[in-house]
Structure 1
């Protein structure tokens, strides 16, 4: 005879399994879960699934989405090319874009990007002035003078400016936003939840492959 507690456990297990199956089988629709840009943007490589995350270090929603997005990126096969583009919706936020590209130029992006976001969202650091940025980066073991020269360099400043123009070309009006294959746009806010956004990304990834990586 099955005890009451075991029956409850069994029912809860079945409920969780059915909920998981329902989530995986969610219907994904253009116009609701993702949209298509009227003008597709150029791709950088052929035979690849190109994925861009438009983000801002100071965005709490970007910070909140980061664990799920990082997990998604880690399980992708070699035909998926992922990149990040910082977005500065105002001029006073440009230092964050410069910080991103300076770390990237020094090969420190992968190691420090999450730490930058943690410092901003958990340690209440703004990192919006040059002295504050340089002090923080130096505290992470990066040479102060080398970083400062990189941060002020023409290449980094130009990339930060170009990222603003790129966001405008992609019609980015909020972050985080994911663009796939230069034309498919989704996000947690568009899809409704972080989990649904990831499901949409999986759906679009397969769609792009079925379409032979075309736009």
Structure 2
């Protein structure tokens, strides 16, 4: 026979669990509002693709919040509809962070971005690798089975350096002051910090997807 104290403990635990689940459900189902969950850029930016939902993630390899957001973002990417186009844009808030932007575009140029982007972030956030200098970066890339000389040639190339600089200018045009930041259709901005948490940010993205479709991709 269950004791009174044990029954009280179980009842208390069940009540706490119910409140927690209810709170999570209400947070996910809460109304999404402009100015609270997302913002509209003062000047809409040009789109690369017409007739699609354009989604850009501004990020930095060294950002712990970007690393923390990756699992939720990757799960969203796996289920996104075909009319959604997604790309990542690296942000260098200081000159000494530009090597990370060059690393991103060098890997992309070599067709290694999808395979190594998550590994770069794991190395920085879990293995304490700074990857701040050309040699550190080249050594790490070589450890992943990529030819060191071929990587360095790509990393130093005019095309990659130009893309890294253009990404910085783009972040300024979009008024990016923190990462990760998601911009949709060149005008709607959200993030875990704006929306309140990672799950809500994904909900806002899905809400904006529908809004953009309803507005005929404007």
- TM-score normalised by the shorter chain: which range applies? over 0.9
Residue pair 2:192, 2:200 contacting (<8 A) in 1 also = yes
- The reply on whether 1:104 has 2:122 as its aligned counterpart is no
Cα distance in structure 2, aligned partners of 1:6 and 1:58: 44
Provide the residue aligned with 1:172 in structure 2: 176
- The reply on whether 1:21 has 2:25 as its aligned counterpart is yes
Provide the residue aligned with 2:135 in structure 1: 131
Deviations along 1:9-54, one digit per CA (max 9) or x if unpaired, are 8767755654453233211111111100011000111111000000
Q: 1:46 aligns with which of 31, 38, 50?
A: 50
Cα distance in structure 2, aligned partners of 1:179 and 1:99: 22
Per-residue deviation at 1:195? Answer: 1.2
Give the aligned length: 213
For structure 2, list consecutive stretches of 5 or more residues without a partner in the other structure.
1-6
Provide the residue aligned with 2:64 in structure 1: 60
For structure 1, list consecutive stretches of 5 or more residues without a partner in the other structure.
none
Deviations along 1:144-190, one digit per CA (max 9) or x if unpaired, are 11111000000000000000000000000010000000000001111
Cα distance in structure 2, aligned partners of 1:17 and 1:63: 26
Cα distance in structure 1, aligned partners of 2:21 and 2:70: 26
Provide the residue aligned with 2:76 in structure 1: 72
Cα distance in structure 2, aligned partners of 1:119 and 1:25: 36
Residue pair 2:109, 2:154 contacting (<8 A) in 1 also = yes
Alignment map for 1:156-167 (pairs within 5 Å): 156-167=160-171
Cα distance in structure 2, aligned partners of 1:6 and 1:56: 46
Does the residue aligned with 1:39 lie in a helix, a strand or coil? coil
Q: Which runs of 4+ in 1 moved over 3 A?
A: 4-21
Does the residue aligned with 1:197 lie in a helix, a strand or coil? helix
Residue pair 2:28, 2:199 contacting (<8 A) in 1 also = no
Does the residue aligned with 2:189 lie in a helix, a strand or coil? strand
